[in-house]
Amino acid sequence: MSSSPLSKKRRVSGSETKTGSNYSTANSIRTDLTAAPANGMARNGNEAEIDEGLYSRQLYVLGHEAMKRMQNSNVLISGMRGLGVEIAKNIILGGVKSVTIHDQGNAEWADLSSQFYLREEDVGKNRAEVSHPRLAELNTYVPVTAFTCPLTEEFLSNFQVVVLTNSSLEEQLRVGELCHNKGIKFIVADTRGLFGQLFCDFGEEMVVTDTNGEQCLSAMISMITKDNPGVVTCLDEARHGFENGDFVTFTEIQGMTELNNGEPVEIKVLGPYTFSICDTTSFSDYIRGGIVSQVKVPKKISFKSMKDALAEPEFLITDFAKFDHPAQLHLAFQGLHEFHKRHGRLPKPRNEADANEVFVLTKSVNEAAPAGVQQEQLKEALVKNLAFMAAGDLAPVNAFIGGLAAQEAMKACSGKFMPIMQWLYFDALECLPEEKDKDSLVTEEKCNPRNCRYDGQIAVFGSDLQEKLGKQKYFLVGAGAIGCELLKNFAMIGLAAGEGGNVTVTDMDTIEKSNLNRQFLFRPWDVTKMKSETAAEAVKRMNPNIHITGHQNRVGPETEKIYDDDFFEGLDGVTNALDNVDARMYMDRRCVYYRTPLLESGTLGTKGNVQVVIPFLTESYSSSQDPPEKSIPICTLKNFPNAIEHTLQWARDEFEGLFKQPAENVNQYLSDPKFMERTLKLPGSQPLEIIEAIYKSLVTERPTSWQDCVAWACRHWHTQYSNNIRQLLHNFPPDQLTTSGAPFWSGPKRCPHPLVFDDSLVLHLDYIVAAANLFALSYGIAGSRDRTAVVEMVHGVNVPDFTPKSGVKIHVSDQELQNSNASIDDSRLEELKNALPSPEKLAGFKMFPIHFEKDDDTNFHMDFIVAASNLRAENYDIPPADRHKSKLIAGKIIPAIATTTAAIVGLVCLELYKIVQGHKKLDSYKNGFLNLALPFFGFSEPIAAPRHKYYENEWTLWDRFEVKGIQANGEEMTLKQFLDYFKKEHKLEITMLSQGVSMLYSFFMPAAKLKERLEQPMTEIVTKVSKKKIGKHVKALVFELCCNDENDEDVEVPYVRYTIR
């Protein structure tokens, strides 16, 4: 992975206006990092440019336009307790123009349960002043200022967005009214124990440029009727994916040209391949072709002021199982504010008298409420729960509400995505002890403050859970974005911070610049260090009591010596923070085998999900899978591309086929005596292709100088963008008809045209410079960036004339390609084999395979991909893609943003509370899905583990047969004894027995082999068949069985855990 300090930057228009110039120095602190820090991040003081190296993953979520608008926004966040600092952290990472943090209060013990930038020694100091330098380090492009005076109208006028946390209802109404009248976007966020509240008012005329953040769809047209309304039918290759009310534009239509390049048209969906548009009766007749593309149309929305919205609330439901909670909590929060106003304090934890008073006050609020808000009956238990835990302060709830609030602030700045309209209420009461335990575990005495850093959490759950959390042994796999957020939450809740507790975190990656935008435990000076160690050190600063060990191991069969039986059997749970399905499935299998709870989560841009896997209760991660990704047909890539995705994949294949595979094959040929023998055994035309490539690399195309590399690049340009296209058009002329009389070049087949090389065109020269440098690098020859010199060299290159040949076969479909049994020219193969220089003659020579790395802008990799793809796009008249979009598609980048990660991890840690308490009911747990762009939230109880049966025995994926391999006499079981054991104990006849990919026994085995095997010990058979020794760390083997019951019927049975030590 690259960690290059250089990054591509784009200029952004908009002049710099200085913020905070009227702050009094006595009450505000301004960051001033005068020295430019390491790794190319500029100092604080917005330089009006987007650093793509830093913001790349977020740019794929928000886009350049939204980022530019954010860079013109000054944001105020008031209240620097756990929720305020979470919101500030996410907004600063997001890259607004400036952030001012405001708090007039001093740090208390209860703050430490979630305020990750306060230390124990900070108790008694102003929260904003203490948090300020730590927040300022997060993003050196965002100036951070601390302010400690009351919020005046004059002061608030400096900001485009104001966020209030930890504030009174009077203050919210005062500031809200002021912001509404001045056109300042306004957000209120609040958390009380397991409850959260969010309110947005973005003015009476908010324009949303993109309501969902999805890529615009496009489809190819096969027919348009002349009708009112006209009906458009798309090619039946794929569903169009449009929705009612979408707006579309048309291009490349032949015949009904009136539709081409017109104003966006609103559509009505009729079916998966059809939709209706405007009146087309007066248009010309449709002939053929055309592309329909979705366009985003800005949407105006209007918000009520807080005062009006309090009386006429509109709720966004977060959990449909609790659809009646928001209206109740809307009143309960007002009752709580009233209690605070009367007593100058919050209700005491679990204090019955205080809770009763809050309930009475809420009743009064309800009675005085307008008809639309008034509740027929108040839920006493719900209101009292809010009062019981109002003094509580939980890191996971702050992470969830803080992620949402920060995303709303970014929507306010950028107009990107649909805001919350206007109230959101959330609760996670399932985290409390299950009913039978509740009264004994959560009492007033157990929830009283102890003047310790966990007071905010003890107020909700009592001291017993705190002790349990401290003793936990957890395994965290991954220290990227999700991993960093998890570790922060672990430190705050005190996981593994007590006697005997430990968190093991493993990640084999080093920190790169693009990580800093969301992996908030890392700083510019950490680039190139190991993630796991750096993250472990960072959270130890947040909570010095946490016991944490950093590893640099990949999880997989190769590290089972480290993460062995002893390791897993000592764990209380596993949390995945992975970025690929294979590793997730591997960890899932391990957790099922060791019967360990697993918390699984993932994000994609503004989308995120949480899955909780509980032994003997839920299905596992692997129980359900996403459908496989659609692959692009080979013939589409080779000859008939119609979208930029096709040309980019073609360019990636070119990269591998020119600069990686040939070098790897040459090195194997030179160093491995059995390489040739292995290659000749490969199927189809592979042997000829590989040996031909080696011959080219070592003989016909081997360069000896930089000039040779430029000449090769120039000739290769002509082959790909001129000669091959001319050959294709020779086989299939532009006016060719199919057997049915339809034009060959129609529908998804775009007719190409050859390009003429012109060194004055930037794109043409980009290709030559990048290809020549990469080719040179693969031979260890020094390249050059001198474009003028390259142009001179190109002028001297002799490009052979090309004449298209007859008899060249070009496959039109993948089916045709499969059916054509490529007959290998054996004489050509033999000729090439003999012409290859022997490895002895090339002693000491080796090539240098190039592995594609998208994030280093100095290595020519993306230069080559962009040029190769866009030249091919020009061949086929496909609109080109800029470097940013090309990197996303070719590099298979997963878009990411800090807000989603924070919110998802908050939900993960709420499930963690339940696991540590040992919740037994399936409906206590919640799988979650969210999309902050829409915004949408969905929670469901996990799916129960599916049940199977043999005879009268019910079993799930969590069950197994336990067989002790070593018998009482110290001897190990033979295969015969193993088979007999199952017949006698379980009335099952084993028909097949395997271990991993090794077949140990089957009923159709040759008699002689079977006779020999039956008397052998099981471990001996395993070693013999798998040709691998059993490691000393292995305590047990896993066997899979196929069995028949007594009626000779096939039955599905669990696996066997066969203990050998």
User: ∠493-498-503 over CA atoms, to 5°?
Assistant: 70
How far apart CA 313 and CA 306 sit, in angstroms, is: 9
* Count of Cβ atoms closer than 10 Å to residue 997 Cβ: 7
Angle, vertex CA 904, rays to CA 202 and CA 463, nearest 5: 110
Q: Phi and psi (nearest 5°) for 1052?
A: -85, 130
Q: How many helices (H) and strands (E) does the chain have?
A: 35, 36
Beta bridge partners of 249: 293
User: Is residue 254 pLDDT above 50, yes or no?
Assistant: yes
Mean pLDDT value across residues 546-573:
96
The pLDDT value recorded for residue 821 is: 57
The residue whose two tokens read 């692959």 is 631
pLDDT digits (tens, 9 = 90+) for 939-948: 999 999 999 9
Helices 644-655 + 861-875 axis angle, to 10: 130
| Eight-class DSSP state of 697 | I
Confidence class for position 824, pLDDT limits 50, 70, 90: low
pLDDT, mean of residues 877-901:
96
Q: How many whole angstroms from its chain centre is CA 245?
A: 30
Task: Identify the pLDDT of residue 813.
Answer: 83
H or E element in which residue 437 lies? helix 435-441
- DSSP for 598-618 reads EEEEEEETTEEEEEEE-TTTB
What is the distance of C-alpha 993 from the center of its chain? 39
Q: What is the mean pLDDT of residues 973-985?
A: 96
β pairing state of 315-316 and 268-269 = unpaired
Q: How far apart are CA 260 and CA 248, in angstroms?
A: 11
| pLDDT at position 152 over 60 | yes
Rounded distance, CA 441 to CA 447, Å? Answer: 9
As to burial, measured by CB atoms within 10 angstroms (0-12 exposed, 13-18 middle, 19+ buried), residue 564 is: middle
Strand order in the sheet with 195-201: 28-30, 144-147, 98-102, 74-78, 161-165, 185-192, 195-201, 423-427, 315-316
Q: What is the pLDDT of residue 817?
A: 76
Q: How far apart are CA 980 and CA 974, in angstroms?
A: 10
- Whole-angstrom Cα distance, residue 741 to residue 728? 20
CB-based contact 14:68 (threshold 8 Å): yes
The mean-pLDDT minimum among 29-38, 262-271, 739-748 falls in 29-38
| H or E stretch covering 995 | strand 989-995
Give per-residue pLDDT as tens, 786-798.
999 999 999 999 9
Q: How far apart are CA 597 and CA 729, in angstroms?
A: 60
Q: Note whether 37 and 43 are within 8 A (CB).
A: yes
3-state helix, strand, coil in the chain (%, to 5): 40, 15, 40
Enumerate the H helices of 503-550 as residue ranges: 531-542
Q: Cα separations (Å) of 111 from 309, 450, 454, 491, 1016?
A: 30, 13, 8, 13, 65
For residue 686, what pLDDT is reported?
87
pLDDT above 50 for 888: yes
For residue 159, how far is the Cα from the chain centroid? 32
pLDDT band at 437 (very low <50, low <70, confident <90, very high): low
Residue pair 333/361 in contact (Cβ under 8 Å)? The answer is no
* Structure confidence at residue 28 as a pLDDT band (50, 70, 90): low
> Looking at 635, 909, 1042, 1043, which residue is catalytic?
635
Q: Is the pLDDT of residue 26 over 80?
A: no
The pLDDT value given to residue 436: 72
At residue 78, the 3 state secondary structure works out as strand
Is 413 an active-site residue? no
Distance CA 261, CA 249 (A): 7
The residue to which tokens 């994926």 are assigned:
957
Q: Yes or no: say if 655 and 865 are a contact pair by the CB < 8 Å rule.
A: yes
Q: Report which residue type is found at 680.
A: L
- Rounded to whole angstroms, how far apart are CA atoms 436 and 249? 61
Single out the residue of 212, 246, 174, 195 nearest to residue 411, CA to CA. Answer: 212
Angle, helices 395-414 vs 481-493, to 10°: value is 140
SS (H, E, C) 562-591: CCCHHHHHCCCEEEECCCCHHHHHHHHHHH
The reported pLDDT for the residue numbered 883 is: 95
Local structure of 823: helix, strand or coil:
coil
Q: How far apart are CA 434 and CA 1009, in angstroms?
A: 57
What the block records as the tokens of 500 is 């005997």
CA dist 531 to 375, 481, 564, 1006, Å? 51, 10, 23, 54
Residue-level pLDDT at 629: 79
How far is residue 517's CA from residue 841's CA, in Å, rounded to a whole number? Answer: 52
Strands 1050-1051 vs 927-931: parallel, antiparallel or unpaired: unpaired
Report the range of poorest mean pLDDT among 41-45, 659-663, 921-925. 41-45
Kindly indicate the confidence band of residue 5, based on its pLDDT and cuts at 50, 70 and 90: very low
Place 23 in a pLDDT band, splitting at 50, 70 and 90: very low
**Tokens (6 digits) for 781:** 């020859």
Beta-bridge partner residues of 551: 506
**How far from chain centre, in Å, is Cα 907?**
16
Task: Decide if 161 contacts 184 (C-beta within 8 A).
Answer: yes
Least confident of 7-21, 420-434, 626-640, 997-1011: 7-21
Task: Tell me the pLDDT band of 34, cut-offs 50, 70 and 90.
Answer: very low
- Cis peptide leading into 627, omega within 30 of 0? no
Q: Is the pLDDT of residue 823 over 80?
A: no
Q: Which amino acid is at 795?
A: H
Q: Please, which pLDDT band fits residue 236 given cuts at 50, 70 and 90?
A: confident
8 A C-beta contact, residue 295 and residue 324:
no
pLDDT of residue 685: 82
Q: Could you give the count of Cα atoms lying within 13 Å of 122 in the half-sphere of its Cβ?
A: 25
Phi then psi for 180, rounded to 5 degrees? -60, -45
**What are the residues facing 1040 on neighbouring strands?**
994
pLDDT of residue 822: 55
Sign of CA dihedral 357, 363, 367, 369: positive
pLDDT of residue 29: 52
Measure the CA–CA gap between 989 and 992, rounded to whole angstroms.
9
Enter the tokens of residue 695.
């011959």
Share of the chain above pLDDT 70, in %: 95
Contacts of 838 (CB under 8 A, 6+ apart): none
- H-helix segments, 480-526: 481-493
Could you tell me which residue, 45 or 1040, shows the higher pLDDT?
1040
Category of 989 on φ-ψ map: left (φ > 0), alpha (ψ -120 to 50) or beta: beta
Is residue 136 within 8 Å of residue 100, measured between CB atoms?
no
Closest CA to 206 of 418, 423, 424: 418
The pairing of beta strand 927-931 with beta strand 1036-1044: unpaired
**Cis upstream peptide for 880 (omega within 30°):** no
Q: What is the mean pLDDT of the chain?
A: 93
Enter the DSSP assignment of 75: E
Residue 696 carries which DSSP code? I
- Reported as a single tens digit per residue, the pLDDT across 73-121 is 999 999 999 999 999 999 999 999 999 999 999 999 999 999 999 999 9
Please tell me whether residue 505 adopts helix, strand or coil conformation: strand
Confidence of residue 301 (pLDDT cuts 50, 70, 90): very high
The helix/strand/coil state of 335 is helix
Q: Are 158 and 74 in contact (CB under 8 A)?
A: yes
Q: Tell me the one-letter amino acid at 43.
A: R
Give 731-738 contacts, CB < 8 A, sequence gap 24+. Answer: 731/804, 731/808, 731/810, 732/810
Contact yes or no for 186/306 (Cβ under 8 A): yes
What are the pLDDT digits (tens) for 602-637?
Answer: 999 999 999 999 999 999 999 988 788 788 899 999
pLDDT at 540: 97
Report whether pLDDT(224) > 80: yes
**Over the Cα atoms of the chain, what is R_g?**
33
Task: Work out the average pLDDT over 863-874.
Answer: 98
